[in-house]
Structure 1
Amino acid sequence: MTPFLGLISIYVVAISYSLLVDDVFFSAFNWTPQISFDLSPFNSVQFIIAITMLVSFGLWSSIFYLRGIKNKKKTFRPSYSVVFSACIIATCIVIIAPNKNGSEFLFLFAPLAIIITNYIETIEERWFKEVFLMALLVIPFILLVL
């Protein structure tokens, strides 16, 4: 019964939106999403450095994050999988977003922050942890100067 009520509520909201905005029934159901694979707006020094930093730290941390899922308690494994799935979905959103102005990276920050934080907690070498954290803190300020 609950999924049926959920579908009905979405239907009512969509029709209400159509009536308020377009003054026509069912115009919200004729919407087609815009997809763009054009990555040329990212061809600036600031974007290239920031994206390289996010991708390199994210991939490096994801490797250890995925390795560590097996060592976690069975009750925590689904939440770790959800965070990694959110990271993959956010990456897809960044790639297919129609307006590439940097705002699409907001979808990637929360799951990537969780993954990188879990990796930082597992680093045993103190010097490597310090270098990793300093790079995460210094690079954004360098990007502001460029």
Structure 2
Amino acid sequence: MPIRSASARWQGNLTEGSGTIKTGKGGLQGSYSFKSRFEEGEGTNPEELIGAAHAGCFSMAFSKALADAGFTPTSVETVAKVHMDKTDAGFSVTKIDLETVGDVPGVDDGTFQKIAEDAKANCPISRLLSPGAEITLSAKLS
């Protein structure tokens, strides 16, 4: 398996500085700052990138699990809401809410829910993040 990389450059102090983040192949690139991370400023932040990684990983894992169960998904769309809170240890990602909608012909809701929960538990990014953050799932058929 290839080793994936990403990079970041920060210039200046914490509150007045700014930086850029990009993936190794340049597919994603953006600026970030104190305001984009801790307030509502323009730009991205590490937590959004974690959310994008988790949503992407889960969507792929869920699509594979559905296909393995005999259901070919037309689409799976997932939003990951990453919660960062101040804890006794400092700022921490404490919770991630996955919200997914699947267009999956022929599957009943009970089967859909079970496969979604299994995908949540077994996608590589969920396995990485679950020891430190609660992961919730809302799964709906479209």
Which TM-score applies when normalising by structure 1? Answer: 0.31
Give the structure with the higher percent strand.
2
Which fold has the larger relative contact order, with Cα–Cα distance below 8 Å and residues 6 or more apart in sequence?
1
Tell which structure's C-alpha radius of gyration is larger: 1
Give the structure with the higher percent helix.
1
Which TM-score applies when normalising by structure 2? Answer: 0.32
